[in-house]
Amino acid sequence: MLTVTNLNKTFNAGTVNEKHVIKDLSLTVNDGDFITIIGSNGAGKSTLLNLISGNVPVDSGRINLGGTDITYQSDVKRAKRIGRVFQDPMMGTSPDMWIEENLALAYRRTGRHTLRWGIKPQERETYRAALAQLNLGLEDRLQSKVGLLSGGQRQAVTLLMATLQKPELLLLDEHTAALDPKTAATVLTLSDQIIKEHNLTALMVTHNMQNAIDYGNRLIMMHDGRIIFDIAGEEKKKLTVEALLQKFEEISGSEFANDRALLS
Amino acid sequence: MSIATIVSGVAQGVLWAILTVGVYLSFRVLDVADLTVEGTFPLGAAVSVVLINKGMNPLLAVLIAVLVGMLAGVVTGTLITVFKIPPILSGILTMIALYSVNIRIMSDKATVSVAGSSIKDLIASLIKKDLFSGDLTKYYPYVLSITTGFICCALIVAVLYLFFGTELGSAVRATGSNPVMARAMGIQTNLMIILGLAISNGLIALSGSLIAQFDYGSALVNMGQGTIVIGLASVIIGEVLFIHKEHSFAYKCGAVVAGAVIYRTIIACALTIPGLKATDLKLITAIIVAVALALPVFKTRAADVKKRRTNLGEAQGC
């Protein structure tokens, strides 16, 4: 279980560019929750994920994961328990290393880095089976450099790497936004499949309202550093994009402004 | 250009190759342009020569020199990672600091000649001079250098190959390749950069120590000048000549070693051209590196010109 309590984050404090991005935000994520997060430009969606993963330090508030306070834990330490997929497909893999070497790093995410072999022969079967699930033909290319793969393939590998060792929490930060529509759909389906299969707890930021409605069991809408709408279960399933937009205008008193959401 | 010139070039090259492998690690594997090299190189020489002159076992003296060199790498690595000083500046800071340190180690002298029993003497006791007679005698010192350099390079490449296959070695490679991903995979990137620079500078100190003993016969306070460029030149020559597709790490290291040998041989031959002086060496080196680094630009230009010509030619044709 992830509990976020009274979280605050201000960027460029004390300057003209001061921006209070996260305002007293509290959120409880239950084990097995797959939450989609939508919101207008600058609502603080990515910042929230960065605060949880430890890439951005908090100003005040607490973050608790599975009973341990991780508010002041380093991002590297948290990475042993939290899996991440970034928006940029180039971010999550090492282009100069083979597919199997990348997966071997992921396989050791939770452990220490010793002088034992970086990859054992019997692991290859595990990797081959995991890659076969992706249906991208990568299982026969274990010794290809990741740099040779397309953006979609790299993102699929990143997804696999984030979940190879079951993470307590999976953070997906607009991870399909940089892909073409067809590839984006494939990667999204894969994400859903992996999350369901391993019963993962996940937070997925997306700019696509329809995706936010179609995937996951709970939906959160953010605006101006706060959660303004939190809906789950049957109620969520009945949502439509129109209803969601209307809800947004009702609560926030402003028009939903997300460039990409409006364009897609 | 005589055979003796070529052999002397190879003899220097195999010792410089150790430095080149060190530069390859920082420049290519870690993706950090580490200028500490210019301070670590004379540091390795100074520490080992002074200890040898004090009567220490030469192998132990060299080992200590390597460890001290690694420490210099740790300092630069700490400046980069903990204090967030840009890598180039961090290297320059350590390099400048080492200049003073080296002079202290050498007791305020600019040159300290090898006066004790060195590695060269050790190898000479294994390969006796009587094996060479007449004209071949002049090759004797080169044979000693080549044997030592070759054994060292082979051992280093083998050990590095094994190391970069381990979990820890993979973590270092991942850090150099994509630090964001490495951190997301729970890798302590700061430690990996420090470790990588320590290994790199340890090798560079070893190279300085051996060159002082075999080639210069002394440790010189300014022997580090230009070593980063020499290292880069060798790396680039090795890559341009031997690396055209995907290769194993050991092969790439071997290519870089060969690059160093070829570079030194070219330099040795170039210096026999009438009118060129030994002091022109750095100018030649700089030109070689500049040309090698500019090669990709030349290639695209040439391709562009060719395209333009065909395009214009077709236009005129109809």
- Summarised one tens digit per residue, pLDDT across range A122-147 is 999 999 999 998 888 899 999 999 99
**Nearest C-alpha of chain B: how many angstroms from A28?**
23
**Residue A230, pLDDT score:** 94
Which residues of chain A neighbour B183 with C-beta distances below 8 Å? Answer: 75-76, 79
CA B174 to chain centre: 23
Backbone torsions φ then ψ of A172, nearest 5 degrees: -115, 110
Contact B167 A106 (CB under 8 A): no
- Supply the CATH number for residue A247's domain: 3.40.50.300
Check whether residue B291 and residue B267 sit in a common domain.
Answer: no
Check whether residue B117 and residue B53 sit in a common domain.
Answer: yes
- How many other CB atoms are found less than 10 A from the CB of residue A71? 18
Check whether residue A72 and residue A189 sit in a common domain.
Answer: yes
Tell me which chain B residue has its CA closest to the CA of residue A83: B184
Question: Which of A122, A137, A166 is the endpoint of a domain?
Answer: A166
Nearest to B184 among A79, A95, A119 (CB): A79
> Mean pLDDT of all residues in chain A?
92
Check whether residue A175 and residue A257 sit in a common domain.
Answer: yes
- The first and second tokens of residue A237, run together, are 């399933």
Check whether residue B192 and residue B252 sit in a common domain.
Answer: yes
Total beta-carbon pairs less than 8 A apart between chain A and chain B: 80
Check whether residue A172 and residue A162 sit in a common domain.
Answer: no
> A127 by DSSP, 3-state: which?
helix
Residue A89 lies in a domain: no
Residue A25 lies in a domain: yes
Domain count across chain A? 2
Domain count across chain B? 2
CA–CA gap between residue A5 and residue A160 (Å, rounded):
30
Of all residues in chain A, the percent with pLDDT exceeding 70 is 97
Contact B170 A97 (CB under 8 A): yes
Nearest to B166 among A96, A116, A161 (CB): A116
Summarize the confidence of residues A186-209 as an average pLDDT. 94
Nearest to B170 among A80, A90, A105 (CB): A105
> pLDDT below 70 — which residues of chain B?
1, 314-318
Check whether residue B290 and residue B154 sit in a common domain.
Answer: no
Buried b (16+ CB within 10 A) or exposed e, A187-214: bbebbbebbeeeebbbbbbbbbbebbbe
Check whether residue B318 and residue B263 sit in a common domain.
Answer: no
Check whether residue A45 and residue A110 sit in a common domain.
Answer: no
Check whether residue B300 and residue B269 sit in a common domain.
Answer: no
Check whether residue A255 and residue A173 sit in a common domain.
Answer: yes
Which residues of chain B neighbour A76 with C-beta distances below 8 Å? Answer: 183, 186-189
Which residues of chain B neighbour A105 with C-beta distances below 8 Å? Answer: 170-171, 174, 182, 185, 187
Given a contact cutoff of 8 angstroms between Cβ atoms, the answer to whether B147 and B15 are in contact is no
Nearest to A93 among B181, B183, B246 (CB): B181
Question: Which of A111, A140, A166 is the endpoint of a domain?
Answer: A166
Given a contact cutoff of 8 angstroms between Cβ atoms, the answer to whether B12 and B264 are in contact is yes
**Nearest C-alpha of chain B: how many angstroms from A162?**
8
**Residue A32, pLDDT score:** 95
Residue A210 lies in a domain: yes
Check whether residue A54 and residue A103 sit in a common domain.
Answer: no
Question: Which of A126, A142, A166 is the endpoint of a domain?
Answer: A166
Residue A18 lies in a domain: yes
Check whether residue B157 and residue B182 sit in a common domain.
Answer: yes
Check whether residue A43 and residue A101 sit in a common domain.
Answer: no
**Nearest C-alpha of chain B: how many angstroms from A245?**
34
**Nearest C-alpha of chain B: how many angstroms from A159?**
12
Contact B178 A93 (CB under 8 A): yes
**Nearest C-alpha of chain A: how many angstroms from B232?**
20
Residue A88 lies in a domain: no
Q: How confident is the model at residue A249 (pLDDT cuts 50, 70, 90)?
A: confident
Check whether residue B194 and residue B316 sit in a common domain.
Answer: no
- Summarised one tens digit per residue, pLDDT across range B295-316 is 878 888 988 998 888 888 766 6
What are residue A84's DSSP bridge partners?
A171
**Residue B296, pLDDT score:** 77
Check whether residue B200 and residue B308 sit in a common domain.
Answer: no
Residue A263, pLDDT > 70, answer no
Check whether residue B297 and residue B152 sit in a common domain.
Answer: no
Check whether residue A254 and residue A187 sit in a common domain.
Answer: yes
Residue A264, pLDDT > 70, answer no
Torsion angle (degrees, nearest 10) of CA B61, B63, B66, B68 = -60
Given a contact cutoff of 8 angstroms between Cβ atoms, the answer to whether A164 and A84 are in contact is no
Check whether residue A172 and residue A258 sit in a common domain.
Answer: yes
Check whether residue A71 and residue A172 sit in a common domain.
Answer: yes
Tell me which chain A residue has its CA closest to the CA of residue B177: A94
Expressed as residue numbers, the domain containing A104 is: 96-166
Q: At what angle do helices B87-105 and B37-53 cross, to 10 degrees?
A: 20
Check whether residue A61 and residue A115 sit in a common domain.
Answer: no
CA distances from A157 to A30, A186, B240 (A): 27, 13, 32
Q: How confident is the model at residue A260 (pLDDT cuts 50, 70, 90)?
A: low
Contact B174 A97 (CB under 8 A): yes
Which residues of chain A neighbour B178 with C-beta distances below 8 Å? Answer: 90-91, 93-95
**Nearest C-alpha of chain B: how many angstroms from A90?**
9
- Supply the CATH number for residue B230's domain: 1.10.3470
The larger pLDDT score, comparing residue A251 to residue A164, is at A164
Question: Which of B254, B273, B292 is the endpoint of a domain?
Answer: B273
CA distances from B110 to A161, B48, B105, B218, B279 (A): 55, 15, 10, 10, 18
CA–CA gap between residue A86 and residue B41 (Å, rounded):
41
Check whether residue A249 and residue A197 sit in a common domain.
Answer: yes
Summarize the confidence of residues A185-214 as an average pLDDT. 94
Given a contact cutoff of 8 angstroms between Cβ atoms, the answer to whether A7 and A22 are in contact is yes
Torsion angle (degrees, nearest 10) of CA B122, B126, B130, B136 = -80
Check whether residue B191 and residue B48 sit in a common domain.
Answer: yes
Which residues of chain B neighbour A112 with C-beta distances below 8 Å? Answer: 167
- Summarised one tens digit per residue, pLDDT across range A202-228 is 999 998 999 999 999 999 999 999 999
Summarize the confidence of residues A9-24 as an average pLDDT. 93
Check whether residue B138 and residue B251 sit in a common domain.
Answer: yes
- The first and second tokens of residue B84, run together, are 């967030």
Expressed as residue numbers, the domain containing B153 is: 3-273
